[in-house]
Structure 1
Amino acid sequence: MGRRTSETVTMRQVAERAGVSQATVSLVLNNVGGSRVNDTTRQRVLETVDELGYRTNAFAKSLRSGESGMIGFISDEVASSPFAGHLLKGAQMLAWETGNVILSVDTYNEPDLEAAAIDMMRSYRVKGVVYASMYHRVLDLPEGLQSVPTVVVNAQERNQLVASVFPDEEGGGYAATRQLIEAGHTRIAMINIQPEDSDLPAGIGRLAGYRRALAEAGIAEPAGFVKYGGGVVEDGLALTLELMDAGDPPTAIFCGNDRTAWGAYRALESRGLRVPYDCSIVGFDNHATLAPILDPGLSTMELPYEQMARTGIELLLSGRGQLSMSNPIECVPILRGSVADAKVHA
């Protein structure tokens, strides 16, 4: 157990107490490979470091080596969002495992704050920067990051200047729809989370996955079975009522996110219908404060926040972050109780 002290312990004091040179202490603390420090001496130095409570001067070390052991994490609102905060968690965990730390700033989409954050990252000589978005979108890499190793996470860099890591939206929409097809459903509707003319990748990809799954199964898309909402509960409620009031309503609905699915639950309940026996529901996001507590629990697709962040850090540390490449990450199905076999509807 290192001693408690209010005085700053120097490397010279460690060397004197251990009976070695400062150079030897430096070799041990920096874990220099191929040094001529034998195991006995190395152990004595480490014990002395612990005894005296010596701490390396990380700032001075960064000035000498040009590396700080820090990885920047710049986002719009990820760090302060409980929903997307798993991005930051994934980055922190892998950074820690590789002997690095995360320097994180939320910019709240303020250009001046973002520019200041980038300047700060550069002044701290970070190894690289994870530039993250709270939601999946296409964005432009800030000019200040174009000379810094950078990976874009939960978004796609418009000009492919650096690597982008993002959810496989189409694969997720396909897998969600396949859950319903494999349960025997053929009248499957979709309520999307954005207008038909929106250019956001999430809704475009999830709808493409839905249509690909139907086409692959030889199921024609019924007229009027794709609805366009805004990803909110109220739209899920209103659009599900439209679907269920049609002459031949769907037996299953793929909702583009979990909030929309919650609205679908409410709509079905208002008509005296039950999930999944009268209509099966699949969502998207695996919203931790929503999907598990609906009754029955909502089968959904999990957005791979932690894996996206870990992949981004891996790309940075391997030097591949500056390669122009897209890295879609699989969205995994989370199965609960909202899907029933189509025969139940017969």
Structure 2
Amino acid sequence: MSIDRQRAVTMRDIAERAGVSRTAVSFVLNDRRSVSLSDETRDRVLSVAAELGYRRNASAQALAHQRSDWYGLVTEIVTAPFAVEIIKGAQDRALTDGKYLLIASTESDAEAESAAIERFLEQRVEGIIYAATWHRAVTIPDIASEVPTVLVNCFDEEGRYPAVVPDERTGGRRATERLLAAGHRRIGFVNLDPGIPAAVGRRLGYHDALRDAGLDIDESLEISGHATADGGFTAVDALLDLPTPPTAIFCANDRMAMGAYDAIKERGLRIPHDVAVIGFDNQELIAAYLRPSLTTVALPFDEMGARGVDILAAITAGQSTDATRVTVDCPLLERSSV
């Protein structure tokens, strides 16, 4: 018998080639061990299935069992460096449980998000991960509540969904403590735009470390750099114009640290000998290639993706979980700027 390779191989094709009933083929391919079939029959069916290139109909099985071994992951821009790390962390952890990711890029468009989640539901995904490329509050389409959903690097204001976010405050404390440990007592802080979770948390951590060291909070040392290299340059230029300028600068992201480098070097000062600098985010194309290379606090994107899958797996398995908003540690990466 010749099988047309332009169409999918069916159980009927296997049954005819193996000389058994279609029911027997179904029992073998679905590993129904409770049914009495000889080992010879099972081996013959599996051999013919392999020979003909049979692939099980995952969609049909998902429909029958109401599960698919797939999770859906929604994010704004899948090519953004941080999104790639979240996806890798989530996919690696999912694979350890025999699960796979369907990934949708939505470009921050609410209609695209709803459409992507609707398509995921049609594919019978077991759960959804909604991931953001920067830490913030988000609005989740209502249809996401039809399956277990976990948020990564974001949260919903109402607290309807478990969320995994970076521990911004501890990261800010860790950066400031590193500068204090190096002997600095006048530490400038170049923050992000006010109000966003990263700006709030990193500033609180900066204050925590200063207070723990017995130092007063000096607001003249705090300035916004608006998250850009140009903003970092302008902010650090202003800090260095103070009557008593700082001897160290904590920049709340690596782009502003890059601008800080230029402002410091334009004055003929050396890093870290005259002014130490620490960044935040660990954007490797910046941090590792500045000269000197930048000491920075890393955002744990891959770990957040993995933790999101852990929580999703627990929920889909029917396990109780107290996860509401889980924080993940932000480690300090020591390089050469302190």
TM-score clears 0.5? yes
The RMSD of aligned alpha carbons is 2.5
Find the partner of 1:318 among 314, 317, 322: 314
- Is the alpha carbon distance of 1:108 and 1:7 closer, same or farther for their aligned partners in structure 2, counting shifts above 3 Å? closer
The one-letter amino acid paired with 2:324 is M
Letter in 1 for 2:214: G
- CA gap of 1:312–1:239, structure 2 versus 1, over 3 A, is same
| Counterpart position of 2:128 | 129
Deviation at 1:103, TM superposition (A): 1.6
- 2-structure distance, mates of 1:32, 1:248: 79
Amino acid at match of 1:117: A
Aligned with 2:298 (options 295, 302, 309): 302
Alignment of 1:158-173 (within 5 A): 158-173=157-172
Q: CA deviation at 1:80?
A: 2.9
Select between 68-77 and 237-246 the one with higher mean Cα deviation.
68-77
Q: Which residue of 1 aligns with 2:63?
A: 63
Contact 1:76–1:134 at 8 Å: present in 2 too?
Answer: yes
Q: How many Å separate the matches in 2 of 1:178 and 1:16?
A: 73
Range moving further from structure 2, 271-280 or 138-147: 138-147
Summarize the alignment of residues 1-346 of structure 1 with structure 2, pairs less than 5 Å apart: 5-15=5-15, 22=22, 25-27=25-27, 29-30=29-30, 45-77=45-77, 79-195=78-194, 198=195, 200-319=196-315, 325-339=324-338
* Separation of aligned partners in 2, 1:331 and 1:4: 56
Q: For the structure 1 residues 180 and 62, does the alpha-carbon distance in structure 2 shift closer, same or farther, using more than 3 Å as the test? A: same
Structure 1: distance between partners of 2:38 and 2:187:
70
Deviations along 1:142-180, one digit per CA (max 9) or x if unpaired, are 212123210011111211111000111001111111111
Alpha-carbon contact 2:282-2:299 (below 8 Å) kept:
yes
Taking structure 1 as reference, are residues 27 and 225 closer, same or farther at Cα in structure 2, changes over 3 Å only? farther
* TM-aligned CA distance change 1:45 to 1:253, over 3 Å: farther
Gap change, CA 1:62 and 1:181, over 3 Å in 2: same
Return the alpha-carbon distance in structure 2 between the equivalents of residues 40 and 271 of structure 1: 83
Aligned equivalents of 1:300, 1:206: Cα separation in 2? 13
Distance 1:58 1:250, change over 3 A: same
What is the DSSP-based 3-state SS (H/G/I as helix, E as strand, rest coil) of the residue aligned with 2:80? Answer: coil
Give yes or no for contact 1:150–1:322 (8 Å, CA) kept in 2. no
- The secondary structure found in structure 2 opposite 1:85 is helix
Amino acid at match of 1:106: S
Using structure 1 for the length normalisation, give the TM-score: 0.87
TM-score (structure 2 length as normaliser): 0.89
Structure 1 residue ranges without an equivalent (≥5): 340-346
Distance 1:90 1:21, change over 3 A: farther
CA distance in 1, matches of 2:154, 2:44: 49
Structure 1 contact 160–324 (Cα < 8 Å) conserved: no
Contact 2:117 2:143 in 1 (8 A): yes
Aligned residue-pair number: 333
Structure 2: which 5+ residue stretches go unaligned?
A: none
Q: Is the 8 A contact 1:185 1:251 kept in 2?
A: yes
CA distance in 2, matches of 1:337, 1:64: 58
Q: Structure 2: which amino acid aligns with 1:278?
A: D
Give SS of 2:87's match: helix
- Helix, strand or coil for the counterpart of 2:102? strand
